């Protein structure tokens, strides 16, 4: 039920969805659908406009020209090499957002995606560097190791929650620190790593286990894009078209109702944490299998937290999160250009923060507006019914 | 009537749009110019970290004054990927900056890659050995300078306990630790040296003064009275904590931190600094490019040729000059070999 209406038109012209919304009360059945589309589009549009206005004000307050900045971003962002970088950046962000969203749908706040993907990537890299199998075997082995390690790391938090009542917010954030410490211990010369100048990294993965790339005219697109799309589709299918997904969402809405409905809440908590962790395990894979081929002190960190922002931005919907991930990639890519053009590099961080805030606020506003109109409609209908009943009753009485 | 205003509004809007797109078309063509000057990319912490990056910045400033070159400075963010670093370096090279310098070993790989794409530009990288015909790898003997700091710390400590705070537990910072521990132990056998790191593997260790402050406070509470901090911008936090305690000494790093205007409040607690002359290396490279004979290959800056040194400003180690000079001679003469990795 909670799947948004087809979002393919999300980038369409602004006024179109608003118009049918106003005509909504015509036919009861189709009217609801159009109203929903309108509301669904209203929130992101409101958020984007608000974010643009606020960032413009920030630019102005620092004495910079916002329109030149936006022009620089638009111009640089659409260049072909930028597009490739943006897509490559978006792939891990999208996976991270999916991992977070699995928890969100169940009202679990998995802040530990960051630690999960790093420790998963680290052990996957260690295993990958130690093995020399044909690629067709080794790549799945590496990915499975990563998913298992990620699942175990997240599962600890799930178990602590069900058996000891420890809030997953606390346990996952602590597990992040522990993951960093564990990696720090093993990532030393002579343990699971080798020294390469000032960088310490795991044994490189043999060339046969490098992931395929999608060639373009210039730099290639990371082949993991395909995996990300598949995982996105699976996520949608699992949550919206299976009994498991229904149970999961039910628990997310109301634990007591789910329990009364015969759903084992404890088991669902552990299972969804395991799933979330398994997807988190994939977050580091595009980098490991397609770029660095080892886990070193220079392995990117912090993608888990980016995922939280993108899951919020995309409202846990796979299409929304994909767009959010691309937006993030765009902002980061073009942010580097802004610095080159003499703007403060921090402005992109500010923009990202403003966008997330605007999205959260806009959705809440639109939700309340939707709720109010719905209540009014229902109220009108009930009143009308009551009037009709009253009339008929009166008629009966008088008869 | 209303229709007319609508059309007019639409016309104006599209005209504005075309103008803006035309404007950015122009700005993108400005790339490709030659002889723009120096392009330099800082590590996290940025230009004003009072330490590592600032040392590189001094080299650029000197080149501006003496050679009259222009410069464009950019800064790394936390949690960057290879793609971000490559983008920064290639945007500098593309715009015609020469040389293009990456400050910090995290640029090691990206310099190698970008240097291949721009064979006519000279690249420089600090703290990393990167391959390429047009790459100048500037490496320093941090462990040798730190050895001297260990000597000074051991002689100055009253409690017999000295501490080391590293920003990130990586191979580079371990060099500082190894030298410091060895220097202290060679000077006083029974001295206790406590090495600790802010982060196991997160570059945030180089721009988190709060963490360094807390770490230093903890050390001071345990009776440690000389603390050597190698953590870039974070070091300021440690120095601040040490300055608050009477009789305790801080040892600075990379720049002569006694002379840093931003740290002037605490300078009376700064015993000395292990100066890493990144400025000299950067200036050498800029000058060589300007002269048409660009430096390439590995250029090592050791204690012997004053690539690293111990700062004497403040005069707090004047009484130790004899011991320090003796140690320096032994290292320069090869009598003492300083370890690059800590013994654990």
Query: Over the stretch A153-162, which tens digit does the pLDDT of each residue have?
Result: 999 999 999 9
Chain A residues with beta carbon closer than 8 angstroms to that of B87:
85, 333, 336
**Do B38-140 and B142-276+314-332 fold alike per CATH?**
yes
Strand partners, B102: B41, B125
- The matching CATH number, chosen from 3.40.50.2300, 3.40.50.720, 3.40.50.11810, 3.40.50.280, for B38-140 is 3.40.50.2300
8 Å CB contact between A276 and A168: no
Distance from CA of B344 to the nearest CA of A (A): 12
**Between chains, do A297 and B201 touch, taking CB under 8 Å as contact?**
yes
Q: In a mutagenesis test of the A interface, which of B77, B89, B300 is the best target, namely the one with the most A β-carbons within 10 Å?
A: B77
Among B78, B105, B200, the residue with its CB nearest the CB of A184 is: B200
Provide the H-helix boundaries in chain A. Answer: 15-22, 28-61, 66-77, 80-105, 113-130, 135-164, 168-186, 224-241, 243-253, 255-260, 265-283, 285-287, 303-313, 318-340, 346-398
Exposed e or buried b for every residue in A155-190, given b needs 16+ CB within 10 A? bbbbbbbbeeebebeebbbbbbeebbebbbebbbee
Using an 8 Å CB-CB cutoff, list chain B residues near A332: 84
d(CA A148, CA A168) in angstroms, rounded, equals 19
Å between B208 CA and nearest CA of chain A = 16
A35-68 burial, b if ≥16 CB within 10 A, otherwise e?
bebbbbbbbbebbbebbbebbbebbeeeebebeb
Nearest to A300 among B23, B79, B171 (CB): B79
The verdict on a CB contact (< 8 Å) between B81 and A287 is: yes
Query: Considering only CA atoms, which of B141, B113, B138 is closest in space to residue B127?
Result: B138
pLDDT at residue number B9: 52
Angle between helices A113-130 and A303-313 (to 10 degrees): 130
Query: Does the distance separating the beta carbons of A72 and B20 come in below 8 Å?
Result: no
> Cα(A232)–Cα(A322) distance, rounded to whole angstroms?
9
Which DSSP symbol is given to A202? P
pLDDT of residue A398: 54
Q: Quote the minimal CA–CA distance from B158 to chain A in Å.
A: 33
CA atoms within 13 A on the CB side of B210: 1
* CB B254 within 8 Å of CB B232: yes
- State whether B201 and A187 contact (CB < 8 Å): yes
Question: Both tokens of residue A78?
Answer: 């659409």
For residue B177, count other CB atoms closer than 10 A to its CB.
Answer: 26
pLDDT at A271 over 50: yes
CB B283 within 8 A of CB B62: yes
Mean pLDDT by 10 residues, chain B (344 residues): 51 43 34 73 90 93 94 90 92 93 93 94 94 94 95 95 94 94 95 94 90 96 96 95 95 94 93 94 95 93 91 92 94 92 82
Question: How close, in Å, is residue A345 to chain B by CA atoms?
Answer: 8
Give the C-alpha separation, B289 to B296, whole Å. Answer: 10
| Alpha-carbon gap, residue A325 to A112, rounded angstroms | 19
d(CA A194, CA A126) in angstroms, rounded, equals: 11
Q: What is the share, in percent, of chain A residues with pLDDT greater than 70?
A: 90
- CB-CB: which of B74, B105, B202 is closest to A197? B105
Q: Cβ–Cβ of B95/A198 closer than 8 Å?
A: no
Rounded to a whole number of angstroms, the distance from the CA of A230 to the nearest CA of chain B is: 24
Q: Which CATH superfamily is domain B142-276+314-332 in?
A: Response regulator (3.40.50.2300)
Q: How far apart are CA A338 and CA A319, in angstroms?
A: 28
> At how many degrees (to 10) do helices B82-94 and B108-117 cross?
40
Classified as helix, coil or strand, B66 is helix
ipTM of the complex: 0.79
Residue B138 forms beta bridges with which residues? B126, B299
* Pairing, β B161-168 against β B192-199: parallel
pLDDT in tens, A294-353: 999 889 999 999 999 999 989 899 999 999 999 999 999 999 899 899 888 888 888 889
User: Are B28 and A75 a contacting pair at CB < 8 A?
Assistant: yes
What residue segments make up the domains of chain B, in order of their start? 38-140, 142-276+314-332
Nearest CA in chain A to B27: A72
8 A C-beta contact, residue A338 and residue A347: yes
Contact B91 A337 (CB under 8 A): yes
Instruction: Work out the number of other CB atoms within 10 angstroms of the CB of residue B92.
Output: 28
A266 upstream amide cis, omega within 30 of 0: no
The answer to whether the Cβ–Cβ distance between B199 and A180 falls below 8 Å is yes
- At residue A8 the predicted structure's pLDDT band, cuts being 50, 70 and 90, is very low
Chain A contacts to B (CB-CB under 8 A): 67-68, 71-72, 74-76, 79, 85, 88-89, 180-181, 183-185, 187, 189, 195, 197-200, 287, 291-292, 297-298, 300-303, 332-333, 336-337, 339-341, 345, 349
B232 phi-psi bin (left φ>0, alpha ψ -120 to 50, beta other): left
Query: CA-CA distance, A180 to A186, in Å (whole number)?
Result: 10
A153, A175 contact by CB (below 8 A): yes
Residues 6+ positions from A301 with CB-CB distance below 8 Å = A114, A118, B79, B201, B202
By Cβ distance, the residue of B27, B91, B202 closest to A180 is B202
Q: Is B162 helix (H, G, I), strand (E, B) or coil?
A: strand
Residues near A92 by beta carbon (within 8 Å), at least 6 away in sequence: A283, A284, A286, A287, A300, A303
Q: Looking at beta carbons, which residues of chain B come within 8 Å of A187?
A: 200-201
User: Is the CB of A301 less than 8 angstroms away from the CB of B81?
Assistant: no
Q: How far apart, in whole angstroms, are the C-alpha atoms of residue A155 and residue A149? A: 10
Q: How far is CA B274 from the centre of its chain?
A: 12
Core vs surface per residue A78-112: b (16+ CB within 10 A) or e: eeeebbbbbbbbbbbbbbbbbbbbbbbbbbbebbb
User: pTM of the entire structure?
Assistant: 0.83
- Chain A residue numbers with beta carbons less than 8 Å from the beta carbon of B171 are 189, 195, 197-200, 297
DSSP line for A70-128: HHHHHHHHTSHHHHHHHHHHHHHHHHHHHHHHHHHHTT---TTHHHHHHHHHHHHHHHH
Answer whether A76 sits within 8 Å of B87, measured CB to CB: no
Q: How many CB pairs below 8 Å do chains A and B form together?
A: 97
Minimal CA–CA distance to B174: which of B272, B75, B105, B80? Answer: B105
In this prediction, residues A114-122 reach a mean pLDDT of: 97
**Does the distance separating the beta carbons of A333 and B108 come in below 8 Å?**
no
Q: Encoding tokens for residue A154?
A: 């997240």
- Test B201 with A339 for CB contact under 8 angstroms: no
Tell me the nearest-neighbour CA distance from A193 into chain B, angstroms: 12
Mutation target vs A (from B171, B201, B230, B300; most A CBs, 10 A cutoff) = B201
Residue B129 with chain A: CB contacts under 8 Å: 197
Contact A297 B170 (CB under 8 A): yes
pLDDT digits (tens, 9 = 90+) for A208-249: 999 999 988 778 999 999 999 999 999 999 999 999 999 999
Task: Calculate mean pLDDT across residues A248-274.
Answer: 92
Contact list in A for residue B21 (CB cut-off 8 A) is 71, 75
Distance from C-alpha of A392 to C-alpha of B204, rounded to nearest angstrom? 75
Locate the chain A residue with the closest alpha carbon to B18.
A71
Paired tokens of A326: 């691309």
Written as six digits, the tokens of A243 are: 């009994």
Q: Is the pLDDT score of A144 beyond 80? A: yes
pLDDT grade for A27, boundaries at 50, 70 and 90: very low
CB contact under 8 A, B83 and A88: yes
Which of B78, B105, B341 has its CB closest to that of A199? B105
């Amino acid at each position: 039920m909670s799947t948004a209406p087809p979002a393919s038109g999300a980038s369409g012209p602004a006024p179109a969805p608003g118009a049918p919304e106003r005509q909504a009360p015509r036919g009861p059945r189709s009217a609801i659908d159009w109203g929903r589309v309108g509301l669904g589009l209203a929130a992101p549009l409101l958020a984007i406009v608000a974010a643009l206005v606020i960032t413009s004000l920030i630019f102005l307050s620092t004495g910079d020209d916002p329109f030149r900045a936006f022009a620089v971003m638009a111009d640089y962002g659409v260049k072909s090499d930028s597009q490739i970088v943006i897509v490559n950046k978006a792939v891990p962000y999208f996976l991270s957002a999916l991992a977070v969203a699995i928890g969100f749908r169940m009202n679990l706040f998995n802040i530990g995606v960051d630690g999960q993907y790093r420790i998963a990537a680290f052990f996957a890299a260690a295993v990958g560097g130690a093995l020399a199998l044909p690629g067709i075997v080794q790549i799945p082995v590496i990915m499975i190791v990563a998913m298992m390690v990620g699942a175990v790391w997240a599962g600890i938090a799930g178990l602590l929650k069900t058996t000891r009542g420890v809030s997953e917010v606390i346990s996952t954030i602590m597990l992040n620190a522990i993951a960093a410490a564990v990696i720090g211990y093993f990532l030393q010369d002579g343990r699971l790593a080798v020294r390469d100048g000032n960088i310490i990294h795991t044994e490189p993965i043999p060339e046969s286990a490098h992931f395929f790339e999608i060639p373009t005219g210039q730099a290639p697109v990371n082949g993991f894009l395909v995996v990300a799309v598949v995982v996105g589709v699976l996520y949608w299918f699992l949550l919206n078209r299976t009994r498991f997904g229904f149970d999961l969402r039910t628990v997310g809405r109301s634990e007591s109702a789910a329990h009364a409905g015969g759903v084992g809440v404890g088991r669902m908590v552990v299972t969804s944490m395991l799933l979330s962790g398994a997807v988190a395990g994939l977050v580091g894979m595009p980098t490991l299998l397609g770029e660095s081929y080892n886990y070193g002190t220079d392995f990117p960190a912090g993608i888990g937290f980016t995922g939280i922002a993108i899951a919020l931005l995309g409202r846990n919907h796979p299409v929304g999160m994909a767009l959010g991930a691309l937006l993030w990639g765009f902002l980061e890519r073009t942010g580097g250009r802004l610095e080159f053009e003499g703007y403060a590099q921090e402005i992109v961080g500010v923009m990202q923060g403003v966008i997330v805030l605007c999205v959260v606020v806009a959705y809440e506003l639109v939700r309340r507006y939707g709720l109010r109109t719905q209540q009014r409609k229902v109220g009108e209908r009930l009143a009308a019914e009551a009037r009709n009943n009253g009339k008929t009753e009166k008629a009966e009485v008088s008869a | 009537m209303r229709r007319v205003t609508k059309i007019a509004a639409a016309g104006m809007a599209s005209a504005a749009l075309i103008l803006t797109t035309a404007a950015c078309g122009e700005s993108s063509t400005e790339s490709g110019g030659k002889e723009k000057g120096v392009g330099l990319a800082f590590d996290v912490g940025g230009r004003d970290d009072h330490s590592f990056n600032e040392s590189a910045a001094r080299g650029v400033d000197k080149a501006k004054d003496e050679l009259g070159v222009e410069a464009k400075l950019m800064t790394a963010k936390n949690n960057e990927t290879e793609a971000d670093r490559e983008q920064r370096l290639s945007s500098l090279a593309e715009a015609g900056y020469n040389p293009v310098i990456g400050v910090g070993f995290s640029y090691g790989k990206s310099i190698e890659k970008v240097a291949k794409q721009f064979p006519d530009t000279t690249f420089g990288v600090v703290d990393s050995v990167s391959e390429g015909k047009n790459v100048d790898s500037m490496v320093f003997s941090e462990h040798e300078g730190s050895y001297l700091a260990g000597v000074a710390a051991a002689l100055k400590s009253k409690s017999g306990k000295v501490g080391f705070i590293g920003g990130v537990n990586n191979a580079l910072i371990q060099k500082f630790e190894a030298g410091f521990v060895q220097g202290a132990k060679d000077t006083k056998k029974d001295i206790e040296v406590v090495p600790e790191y802010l982060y196991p593997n997160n570059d945030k260790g180089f721009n988190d003064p709060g963490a360094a402050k807390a770490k230093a406070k903890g050390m001071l509470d345990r009776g440690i009275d000389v603390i050597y901090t190698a953590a870039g911008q974070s070091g300021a936090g440690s120095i601040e904590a040490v300055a608050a305690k009477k009789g305790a000494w801080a040892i600075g790093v990379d720049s002569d931190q006694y002379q840093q205007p931003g740290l002037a409040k605490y300078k009376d607690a700064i015993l000395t600094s292990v100066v890493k002359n990144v400025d000299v290396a950067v200036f050498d490279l800029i000058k060589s490019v300007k002269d048409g004979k660009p430096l390439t290959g590995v250029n090592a800056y050791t204690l012997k040729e004053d690539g690293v040194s111990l700062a004497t400003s403040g005069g707090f180690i004047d009484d130790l000059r004899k011991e320090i000079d003796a140690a320096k001679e032994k290292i320069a003469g090869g009598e003492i070999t300083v370890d690059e990795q800590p013994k654990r």
